[in-house]
Structure 1
Amino acid sequence: MGGGGSDVAQMPVFDLEPFLEKCILKGEEPDEALKKQCEELAQCLKDTSALVVKDPRCPSNDNNQFLDMIESYFAQEDDEKKKDERPHFHYQVGVTPEGVEVPRCSMDPACLSDIAKQPEEHRAHVPKGADPKWRFMTRIGPRPTETKFKELNAEPVLPAHFPQWEGTCNNWGTKMLNALEVVAEMCAVGLGLDRKAFVEKMKNAPHLLAPTGSDLAKYHDIGTVFAGYHYDLNFLTIHGKSRFPGLYVWLRDGKRIPVKMPEGCLLLQAGKQIEWLTGGEILAGMHEVVFSDATKNAVAKAKEEGRSIWRVSSTVFGHIASDAILEPLGRFATEEANAKYKRCCAGDQVQEELDTIKLKPNGLA
């Protein structure tokens, strides 16, 4: 996804440095001021399913170096990129070509009904078939030595013509994942859970650095949908700033807003797994990526400056470990929540979602 647009008033920037310094690096418990910041952060996630944060360990130049490399990768011929395709691993490593990933909403009558009820000025584009975007999945962080879900924890794919690939991906992906883990701790504190409630379940999880690539030379009509209306299936998603606008998110009150990130900031979005663990206190955020007037203007500027017009996202999907249990935690484990969010392995939840969005090929267990 990535940032763009013009409305940032409802998205405050949370500085992670005070919590990072005191609680992560020094191992101390949060004081009252930090607890208040954690409560505000959790409340923002409840209200918007999104956060804008700043982490001193995630400088813009690292994001730019990563975007430069990914733009060059997606600019290759399609046949070259398809050498990196791994459908037998549910596309959870390597490249996913355009026209493969299908928004779940396009096959969900309840979701389509929700869109029909949205007021016109906040209505999502109705997803029609597969998205015209590419994606590349690279694992970030260690994987478990034993797991029931080997296909979700496969070895990474290294493209042939990019010797810097592994180093660049590990550098930027690890930094974004580290920021995400700080948010996970702060959110747990803000929700009144044990500070480590989320991060303990994230150990050895199938975290993925997963940039998308949309060819704005090929798809350049206003209203073209690159990522149809959907939520993310994982725990939390984090993005560095994109070079082209187009991401729209829905707040809990139903408003659709374009996302704009200040330079040097990161965007987080709530996924289905945090909804599960909080019994719906935090909802997986709905969003879409669309070619807008702002995208068109950014393309014109990029052409003038001789830059790439591939719209690349700088994205990490933070997951709960495949073999860890998903169920409402602590005070969220009400009878109603337990009935709606049934206890299961995170890996089973992921595989069900992948099957629905056509990333789990027929015949695979």
Structure 2
Amino acid sequence: MELPVIDLAPYLEKSAKCSREVGEKKLDDPNLQKLCEEVSRTLAQTGALLVKDPRCSAQDNDRFIDMMEKYFQRPPQFKRLQERPHLHYQVGVTPEGVEVPRSLVDEEIQGKLRAMPKEFQPSTPMGPDPKWRYMWRVGPRPSNTRFQELNAEPVIPEGFPEWKDTMDSWGYKMISAIEAVAEMAAIGFGLPKDAFTSLMKQGPHLLAPTGSDLQRYGQEGTVFAGYHYDLNFLTIHGRSRFPGLNIWLRNGQKMEVKVPIGCLLIQTGKQIEWLTAGDCIAGMHEVVVTNRTTDAIKLALQQDRSLWRVSSTLFAHIASDAVLKPLGHFAGSPIASNYPPICAGEFVEQELAVINLKGNKGEL
């Protein structure tokens, strides 16, 4: 199965026109309505979606990856200067060997894995993920919040004068794409257009690229990110220079993702599952060195390119002080009681504790 590619341009054009024309609030174009329904249906059925956004170019993604390759190539002792364990690693760098894959510690997930057909089972991680990650907040922070450690100031490494501009530029563009998809999904689900985006305002959105050293860990079968779901609302990725991302569809089928040049991949997180009472479920995925990865390594060696696999990843969140609960007609779902109201920041803290990012090096 191939994921459909949704071109956001027609929706963005219509949306811009609606905002200019006072009084025209509803989407009255049947073709765009169908497009919105395709977005919501695809997210619900597969947990993933490919989009093309005219505001996010392949060149933007390349500029970002070029800089992150240079950063991850720096020595570990340099990178550790940007480490902030007391802030739950929610800003700055997370070194390799810290984050624990959910599948290693979650007994419910382990039970589901054992019940899977062999060909759909994920790779088994040997321990914590051997990947580095950089967390960079994007967008305005709330002036008053109960969750200060989830809304900390960003960390800028020395020797990268272009850092803030590059991170903010790419981060804002990817958030804009997520907001368009969130509006389209809301329309497709029969909710108000701003049902999701109103809750995202001043959320602790994170541009969170990973860096995986293929020179050290380039053997086929190496697990860089063990089988897990994302705890946030929606995750968006630009195209990586090395393949290796596998996702699981709602029917349990495992699928290797191929992101076309100039496209972005969007995945459902746990917060949208909460807001839709499980109509969307958080998509499971892993990053593993496959034979396609090793082919890309050989090509990079021939071309004298970096052997760091950088993921161009952004986690879009519901605002920390907003309440997660099933929205609109989803509140009437027979399983809505499985998703009781909880403050988004509280939910995030609970999830971070499970994967070893909160509380392991001292509390605030």
Q: TM-score range by the shorter chain?
A: over 0.9
Q: TM-score, normalised by structure 1?
A: 0.96
Q: Distance in 2 between matches of 1:126 and 1:334?
A: 38
Give 4+ residue runs of structure 1 displaced > 4 Å after superposition. Answer: none
Partner of residue 7, structure 2: 15
Q: Distance in 1 between matches of 2:245 and 2:323?
A: 31
Q: Which moved more, 1:334-343 or 1:290-299?
A: 334-343
Letter in 2 for 1:212: T
Q: Distance in 1 between matches of 2:99 and 2:63?
A: 27
Q: Distance in 2 between matches of 1:321 and 1:336?
A: 26
Would you say 1:81 and 2:79 are equivalent positions? yes
Q: Distance in 1 between matches of 2:212 and 2:163?
A: 20
Would you say 1:61 and 2:59 are equivalent positions? yes
Partner of residue 289, structure 1: 287
- Per the alignment, in what secondary structure is the counterpart of residue 26 of structure 1? helix
Partner of residue 345, structure 1: 343
Q: Distance in 2 between matches of 1:255 and 1:314?
A: 25
1:263-308 Cα offsets, whole Å, 9 max, x none, are 1000000000000000000000000000000000000000100100
Q: Distance in 1 between matches of 2:314 and 2:218?
A: 26
Q: Distance in 2 between matches of 1:298 and 1:89?
A: 36
Partner of residue 243, structure 2: 245
1:23 positional shift: 1.6
Partner of residue 175, structure 1: 173
Q: Distance in 2 between matches of 1:235 and 1:168?
A: 24
Gaps of 5+ in 2: none
Q: Distance in 2 between matches of 1:108 and 1:329?
A: 27
Letter in 2 for 1:106: L
- Per the alignment, in what secondary structure is the counterpart of residue 218 of structure 1? helix
Is the Cα–Cα contact under 8 Å of residues 214 and 226 in structure 1 kept in the other structure?
A: yes
Q: TM-score, normalised by structure 2?
A: 0.96
Q: Distance in 2 between matches of 1:306 and 1:136?
A: 25
Would you say 1:147 and 2:133 are equivalent positions? no
Which aligned pairs between 1:21-40 and structure 2 lie closer than 5 A?
Answer: 21-24=13-16, 26-27=18-19, 28=24, 29-30=26-27, 31-40=29-38
1:335 positional shift: 6.1
Q: Distance in 1 between matches of 2:324 and 2:344?
A: 6
1:226-247 Cα offsets, whole Å, 9 max, x none, are 0000000000000000000000
1:108 positional shift: 1.1
1:25 positional shift: 5.2
Which aligned pairs between 1:204-219 and structure 2 lie closer than 5 A?
Answer: 204-219=202-217
Is the Cα–Cα contact under 8 Å of residues 93 and 155 in structure 1 kept in the other structure?
A: yes
Q: Distance in 1 between matches of 2:124 and 2:279?
A: 27
Q: Distance in 1 between matches of 2:284 and 2:55?
A: 28
Q: How many residue pairs end up in the alignment?
A: 357
Would you say 1:298 and 2:290 are equivalent positions? no
Give the % identical residues: 56
Letter in 1 for 2:253: K
Is the Cα–Cα contact under 8 Å of residues 171 and 314 in structure 2 kept in the other structure?
A: yes
Q: Distance in 1 between matches of 2:71 and 2:172?
A: 20
Is the Cα–Cα contact under 8 Å of residues 115 and 126 in structure 1 kept in the other structure?
A: no
Gaps of 5+ in 1: 1-8
Q: Distance in 2 between matches of 1:335 and 1:69?
A: 46
Letter in 2 for 1:89: L
1:214-235 Cα offsets, whole Å, 9 max, x none, are 0000002111000000000000
1:240-259 Cα offsets, whole Å, 9 max, x none, are 00000000000011110100
Is the Cα–Cα contact under 8 Å of residues 138 and 210 in structure 1 kept in the other structure?
A: yes
Q: Distance in 2 between matches of 1:23 and 1:33?
A: 14
Is the Cα–Cα contact under 8 Å of residues 150 and 204 in structure 2 kept in the other structure?
A: yes
Q: Distance in 1 between matches of 2:16 and 2:273?
A: 25
- Per the alignment, in what secondary structure is the counterpart of residue 56 of structure 2? coil
- Per the alignment, in what secondary structure is the counterpart of residue 320 of structure 1? coil
Q: Distance in 2 between matches of 1:109 and 1:205?
A: 30
Partner of residue 219, structure 2: 221
Letter in 2 for 1:13: V
Which aligned pairs between 1:94-243 and structure 2 lie closer than 5 A?
Answer: 94-243=92-241
Partner of residue 363, structure 2: 364
Q: Which moved more, 1:349-358 or 1:27-36?
A: 27-36
- Per the alignment, in what secondary structure is the counterpart of residue 183 of structure 1? helix
Partner of residue 260, structure 2: 262
Q: Which moved more, 1:21-30 or 1:82-91?
A: 21-30
Q: Distance in 2 between matches of 1:337 and 1:155?
A: 38
Is the Cα–Cα contact under 8 Å of residues 277 and 333 in structure 2 kept in the other structure?
A: no
- Per the alignment, in what secondary structure is the counterpart of residue 181 of structure 1? helix
Partner of residue 4, structure 1: none
Does 1 or 2 have the higher relative contact order (CA < 8 Å, sep 6+)?
Answer: 1
CA RMSD in angstroms, aligned pairs only: 1.1
1:153-178 Cα offsets, whole Å, 9 max, x none, are 00000011101000000011100110
